[in-house]
Amino acid sequence: MLRFLALGAVLCVCWAREDSVAVEGVLKCDGQPASGVLVKLYERDSLFDDKLASVKTDSRGHFRLQGRQAEWGGIKTKFNFYHKCGTLPLLKRFVPTCTFKGSFNIPDRYVSHGGSPSQVYDAQTIELSLYTKDTDCLHR
């Protein structure tokens, strides 16, 4: 029985293919560039999502991420952003680690076979003040 499990594990690893994805966009807070906002790229899984990359937005609110992973059956991806746009100044001071969270799934057609993405998903401009429903203190 143990042999069959070992063989199955080896076959799954051998048949896993490497896929890659890239995403870029601009984040704004009340119409102004949102600099220093944490953005993370994930491969979605049933139990725990795998982080592929993370970056903070530049002074123009721009971000660009790319990542790759070998997964049996291909990868499903998303990106999350964690911000404090619309937070009262007092809360920013006393609850520094908790943020609002937004999440977008990346369409499968932007996932490329191989280690380098052949196209970039353009998330365009996202207004952070519209994403204040979900909070996150762990940034996962």
Task: Indicate whether 73 belongs to any domain.
Answer: yes
Q: What number of other Cβ atoms are within 10 A of residue 65's Cβ?
A: 22
Cα–Cα distance measured from residue 32 to residue 89, given in angstroms and rounded to the nearest whole number? 17
* Whether pLDDT at 4 is above 50: no
pLDDT at position 123: 99
What domain range includes position 35? 18-136
Using CA of residue 110, residue 114, residue 119, residue 122, what is the dihedral sign? positive
The number of distinct structural domains making up the chain is 1
Question: Which carries the bigger pLDDT value, residue 47 or residue 96?
Answer: 47
User: Which token pair is 35?
Assistant: 């600099």
Assign residue 48 the CATH number of its domain: 2.60.40.3330
* Whether pLDDT at 6 is above 50: no
Q: Which residues are paired to 39 by β-bridges? A: 55, 81
* Whether pLDDT at 139 is above 80: no
pLDDT in tens, 11-61: 455 567 899 999 999 999 999 999 999 999 999 998 899 999 999 999 999
Task: Indicate whether 32 belongs to any domain.
Answer: yes
Question: Which carries the bigger pLDDT value, residue 71 or residue 79?
Answer: 79
Element (H, E) at 118: none
Averaged confidence pLDDT in the chain = 88
